[in-house]
Amino acid sequence: MFDIFIKTHFAGAHHLRDYPGECELPHGHNWKVKVTVRAKNVDEIGMGIDFKVLKKHVKEVVDRLDHRDLNAMDEFAVLNPSSEHIAIFIFKNLVEKLQHDRYFLYSVTVMETDTSGLTYYGDNSVSR
């Protein structure tokens, strides 16, 4: 079993509706994102998943968030664009693209700062 990951980042603004503090005001972050694919085995040339393929799919999703007011996106019109909801957004937009007989999307980590973040593993309905 192999956990294969890439790290990337995006810059975006948001505010948390109904938050009892300063985070209710518009502000921005340079979010760091780590996407991990779990491979059960490797292909004929020794790869679980080609980093090039993983980077391509992740870039397509993260580019939708980069340099945006996240609250203005349809996906966050009702949901607060918290790190938790951002991780779910990324996961849901990658899960089908990163599903293969050999590997599957395992987790998405989102960090607002170098010291604060979370990891989302999807729900239990996703086949492993």
Where would I find the H helices in 12-108?
Answer: 51-62, 83-94
Q: Which of 24, 27, 60, 67 is catalytic?
A: 67
Q: Which is nearest to 14 in space by CA: 118, 61, 84, 109?
A: 84
112 in active site = yes
Q: Is 66 helix (H, G, I), strand (E, B) or coil?
A: coil
Q: Which of 15, 75, 100, 112 is catalytic?
A: 112
> Residue 86 to residues 10, 51, 75, 83: CA-CA distances in angstroms?
11, 22, 10, 5
75 in active site = no
How far does the chain reach from its first CA to its final CA, in angstroms? Answer: 12
67 in active site = yes
What residues contact residue 9 under an 8 Å CB cut-off, 6+ apart? 30, 31, 32, 33, 62
Q: Which of 23, 75, 85, 100 is catalytic?
A: 23
Q: Is the CB of residue 95 less than 8 Å from the CB of residue 61?
A: no
What residues are annotated to the active site?
23, 67, 112
